[in-house]
Amino acid sequence: MSGEIWKPDFPTETVMEGNVKLIVPKLKSFVKSRSDYAPSKAPVFYNPVMEFNRDLAVLALQAYQRTVNHEITVCELLAGCGAMGIRFAAEVKGVKKVVMADINERASKLARQNIELNNLVGRVTVEHEEANLLLSMHGAPHERFDVIDIDPFGSPVRYLDSAIRALRNHGLLAVTATDMAPLCGVHSKACIRKYGGKPLRTEYCHELAVRLLAGCLASTAARHDMGVEVVFSHSSDHYVRVYATIKYGAKKADDSIRNLGFMMHCFNCLHREASRENLTDGCGKCSECGSRLNYAGPLWLGRISDAPFCVLMEGESQHRLLKLGERIEGLLASVEKESETLISYYVIDELCHILGLPVPSVKRVAEALKKEGFSAFLTHFDSRGIRSNAPAMMMGSILRGIAKEKREVLNNLGSKHVLHR
């Protein structure tokens, strides 16, 4: 790196993100039509929208470092301009070393410039290397990383096997998937090929996407006699993200495999239930309305977040001046509250559409559920969603009751207006 002088042969600009300064492609220069996705058109990948993801990653790594209580080494697998890896080194206390890689030569050169710009030479290095090859070179016991971050454009599956082998016992693996069309059931065959599980186009498909990704991770780890524990996950914008610790041992792998199963769904009444049974022979009829059930999976049925880990992240966020701090705190609070709730959630608009009812506020439905003795939690997956242990038929009954109550109020108001006249 020393003595190397390189000037980008494309338009750039300097931005501030978190505590670091970054030279990035000037994205406006690469947009020729409204349909162009500027980050993928630029010669080096940089997506400003993913600053939210990088903010959360910084908080998650700091929470993890506090948990293990020792210096950590980090691998940022797909560097781009180096934003994520540089922020890890600059903003996470206890990071000893960050290794980044990018097969794009211009990306690795721009990342080196950003390392120098932030005075991180020596603590952060960039390899002009294919990601799986770099991970393979770190598969030996004393070469492995404490944290590996995989944040690709598309599916992360091609890197999972190498990443798991390059991670130390109790290490943290952070994985992003942006290919939401397969994971949400638009391209089912692609999801089965990549993630080994069948998706469903349901109103809670973003949670299923997280669980399909976590399930794929658990299956991949189990082949190496390793287990996983999901400590945090979220669905934001156009992607899903899973953070999981990897634990060595065949017993740990077996424990993880026991968390794999299927989500059965009725498209007639919206009943849903989890099952650990093998569904190769079909999943039968709906217990509520008798219609044929469909299914998603195999996927992860265990927890998709850990409340104490979320609390640590919340504590870290309160000590930092993050541009998106309010949004981050809202997400963390929501994920913490729903960490121990049931799988899936109801989207009120979808239920009302099927029942032909007016759509009430989420707050009104939550109040009615609690009044009837059921749980009611909001979910970060959908602002119109409610997690509840109420059966689908009971949800329908409650929504009808709310609609009836509203009609009676309107009728009374109408009668009073007539009498007044």
Which CATH number covers residue 403?
Answer: 3.30.56.70
pTM for this entry = 0.94
- Asked whether residue 31 is domain-assigned, the answer is yes
The radius of gyration computed from the CA coordinates of the chain, to the nearest angstrom, equals 24
Q: DSSP 3-state assignment of 286?
A: coil
Statement to judge: residues 349 and 295 lie in one domain: no
User: Are 351 and 202 a contacting pair, CB within 8 Å?
Assistant: no
3-state secondary structure of 418: helix
> Rounded to whole angstroms, how far apart are CA atoms 166 and 172?
11
Q: Name residue, tokens 């980050």.
A: 39
Q: What is the pLDDT of residues 135-153, one digit of tens each?
A: 999 999 999 999 999 999 8
The count of structural domains within the chain is 2
* 360 and 273 together in one domain: no
Token reading at 412: 């009374």
Instruction: Give the Cα separation of 115 and 124 in Å (integer).
Output: 7
139 part of a folded domain: yes
Which residues, 6+ apart, have CB-to-CB distance to 288 below 8 Å?
Answer: 266, 269, 271, 391, 392, 393
Q: Are residues 284 and 401 in the same domain?
A: no
Judge whether 199 and 205 are in contact, CB under 8 Å: yes
- Per the CB < 8 A criterion, the answer to whether 262 and 279 are in contact is yes
- Same structural domain for residues 264 and 385? no
Confidence of residue 415 (pLDDT cuts 50, 70, 90): low
- 416 pLDDT band (50/70/90 cuts)? low
257 phi/psi in degrees, rounded to 5: -60, -30
Confidence grade of residue 333 (pLDDT, cut at 50, 70, 90): very high
How does pLDDT run across 224-278, given as a tens digit for each residue? Answer: 999 999 999 999 999 999 999 999 999 999 999 999 999 999 999 999 999 988 7
In a domain, residue 394? The reply is yes
Determine the average pLDDT of the residues in 336-352.
92
Kindly state whether residues 139 and 80 are assigned to the same domain: yes
In the block, tokens 């390899």 appear at 127
Instruction: Read off the amino acid at residue 322.
Output: L
Say whether pLDDT at 281 is over 70: no
Q: Is residue 402 part of a domain?
A: yes
Task: Give domain status of residue 289, yes or no.
Answer: yes
Task: Decide if 210 contacts 233 (C-beta within 8 A).
Answer: yes
Same domain assignment for residues 295 and 373: no
CATH of the domain at 23: 3.40.50.150
Phi, psi values for residue 115, rounded to 5°: -65, -45
Number of separate helices (H) and strands (E) present in the chain: 15, 15
**pLDDT tens column, 349-384:** 999 999 999 999 999 999 999 999 999 999 999 999
Rounded average pLDDT over 162-179: 98
**The domain containing residue 247 runs over which residues?**
12-310
Please report whether residue 315 resides in a domain: no
383, 320, 268: which is closest to 54 by C-alpha? 320
- Is the domain of 393 the same as that of 299? no
Within 197-267, where are the H helices? Answer: 205-222, 250-257
Query: Are residues 365 and 303 part of one domain?
Result: no
Q: For 174-230, what is each residue's pLDDT tens digit?
A: 999 999 999 999 999 999 999 999 999 999 999 999 999 999 999 999 999 999 999
Q: What's the mean pLDDT in 294-314?
A: 96
Residues 362 and 418 in one domain: yes
Q: Tokens 């701090």 — which residue?
A: 325
Per-residue pLDDT reduced to its tens digit, 70-90: 999 999 999 999 999 999 999
For residues 97 and 73, the answer to whether their CB atoms sit within 8 Å is yes
| Same domain as 359, residue 282 | no
Shared domain for 130 and 260, answered yes or no, is: yes
**Average confidence score pLDDT of the chain:** 93
Does residue 410 or residue 23 have the better pLDDT?
23
* Residue at which a domain ends, from 249, 284, 310: 310
Annotate 42-81 with DSSP letters as a single string. SSS---GGGHHHHHHHHHHHHHHHHHHTS-EEEEESS-TT
Identify the domain boundary among 310, 325, 360.
Answer: 310
CA dist 222 and 113 (Å) reads: 39
The kind and range of the H/E element at 413 are: helix 392-420
Per-residue exposure over 331-351, b if at least 16 CB sit within 10 Å of its own CB, e if not: bbebbbbbbebebbbbbbebb
Q: Indicate whether 168 and 211 sit together in one domain.
A: yes
Among 16, 13, 11, smallest CA distance to 42 is for 11
In a domain, 327, yes or no: no
Report the Cα 175 to chain-centroid distance in Å: 8
Helix (H) or strand (E) holding 399: helix 392-420
Q: Does residue 320 lie in a domain region?
A: no
Which of 310, 331, 353 terminates a domain? The answer is: 310
Closest CA to 299 of 163, 205, 403, 421: 205
Burial class (CB in 10 A: 0-12, 13-18, 19+), 363: exposed
Burial of 3 (0-12, 13-18, 19+ CB in 10 A): exposed
